[in-house]
Every structure is written in structure tokens, then in C-alpha cells.
Amino acid sequence: MTIGFIGLGNMGGGMAANLAKAGHVVRAFDPDAAALARAGTQGCEPVGSAQEAVAGADAVVTMLPNGAIVAQVLAESVIGHAPADALLLDCSTIDVATARSIAGQAAEAGHAMVDAPVSGGIAAANAGTLTFMVGGSNQAFARAQPILAAMGKAVIHAGAAGAGQAAKICNNMILGATMVATCEAFALADRLGLDLQTFYDIASKASGQSWSMTSYCPVPGVGPQSPADNGYQGGFATALMLKDLNLALAAAADAGATVPMGARAQELYTAFAEAGHGGVDFSAIIRTFEGA
């Protein structure tokens, strides 16, 4: 297939490279020259504009920072420029309302579209082991599945348009809250004089076990390799976690849902980001409880 790929940042760059590795012709665009040049060394065909990327494409993948940018790119550079039968796949994490709105606009122009946000972070994007949560019709999902499978280990149909975004923000609200709980528990264990490796060995096999602990432990030298072992660099930035929590809280307000744990996680990550830590991995919030 010929795939237009727009957005070659920390996540999109690895995703586009994996599509090229799978044998697709990937016409890639990003306004950042360094990202565009890097894509050219990874099997993609760099082009000079988003409109050029989508011209003649069988499918178009977008991986962009927020809903406003996604809507703008689709309106100005995709719809009316890509072939009418091109499949549109938006892998950005955006609000549910925008995902549903742009799916409607795409349908009016004759395009099948899915919202397919990801879970897994930069390492999984590079390795092709992402999890995709997909919203869209059964027919659109069937067309999207083999494209997404080239970039991930799991491709799950969540429901109609917007359902992928709903699943993503609910999942990441769990992640944010459980990471906070994991961090405060390790900080308390340390203050109570427990050896943290010993505490990990116990809690990882007991009812307190979670992904935040056993796959992404926030304590350096404990559990599998994680950003904590690299000075909290790489991984999933605090600013991105806060973005997802903000989306979840906005969706909860729209739905009339009560989410006190999500709200408290949002407050804590807001304070952590405002203290200058938005660029470090979200597990670094353990510093809040250590007093650092």
C-alpha cells in the first residue's frame, strides 16, 4: 500500500518506520526538518507537505499533538487532497467529541475513518509493539486492522467512532491514579524502613500488584528496566500524562461521571508539571512523596 503519514514525533517516527519495514510505501511529512530527515533514513519517503504525503495514498495515518491540530490538518490537507476512497487513521490522543466530529466530516467526503490511539510509549512505537484502541465502523476497522498490526502487538475494536479515544483516556486515568498510589506506597515503605527491593518482591506477588509496579516501577534499581533507571528520561512524559488526565476529566464532566481518584491524580500531575517537571517521565512524580 501507499500510506501518507503525517506527524513524525517521538511516537510517529517509529510507527512510520515500522510501516515501511512491513513493505508499505510510506510518504512521510512533518514540519520539523530533523524528524523528516530521520524518517528518510528509516525507509520512508520524505515529502515537503501534508498534501503531498496524501496525494495518491491508499491510507493516511495522522499522529499529532491535539484535537485542534488534527481537525485542521484533516480539513486543510487531507480531505479533498487524498483519494476519495483513502482510509483515514488518526492515532493521536484527542477528545472524544473532536474524534466523532472529524469522523463525520470524513464520511461526508466519502472516507472511511478510524480513531486509533495507542498505548505503549516510545519504546513500543519503535519496536512495533503498541496496543491500538480503535473506534469506527466494522468495515473501517477491517480495513485498518492490517495497517495497525504492522505497528502493534494488539489491535482491539472498541466500538463506533470516538470509542478508541474513550478507551484510551479511561485507560490512562487508571494509569495515572495507580502510578500515584504506587509512588506514595514505595515512599511510605522507605520511611517505614523497608528495603524497597524486598517490598517489591512482596507487593508484586500480592494484592497491591499493578502494571505501574511490575512493568514500570518508579524506583531506580527495582523491578524491570524502566525510565527510573535512566534519571526518569524517556518513556511517557509528565506533560503527556497530564494531557490525558485533562481529557479524561473533561469527558467525565460532559458525561456527568464522578471520578475522584482521576481528579486527584490530575491535581497532583498539574502541580508536578507546574514545578518544572513536565518533560520527565510521569513516574518521576515519586519525588513529590520523597520530598525531593
Residues taking part in catalysis: 168
Distance (Å, whole) CA 11 – CA 7:
9
Q: 118-119 and 152-159: which strand pairing?
A: unpaired
Q: Tell me the H-state helices in 22-60.
A: 33-40, 50-54
Q: Which three cell numbers stand for residue 209?
A: 500488584
Distance (Å, whole) CA 213 – CA 200:
8
| 97 exposure class (CB count in 10 Å sphere: 0-12, 13-18, 19+) | middle
Strands of the chain (E only): list them.
2-6, 25-29, 45-46, 59-62, 87-90, 113-115, 118-119, 130-135, 152-159
| 156 exposure class (CB count in 10 Å sphere: 0-12, 13-18, 19+) | middle
Question: Helix/strand/coil (H, E, C) string of 249-278?
Answer: HHHHHHHCCCCHHHHHHHHHHHHHHHHHHC
Distance (Å, whole) CA 2 – CA 287:
46
Decide: helix, strand or coil at residue 3. Answer: strand
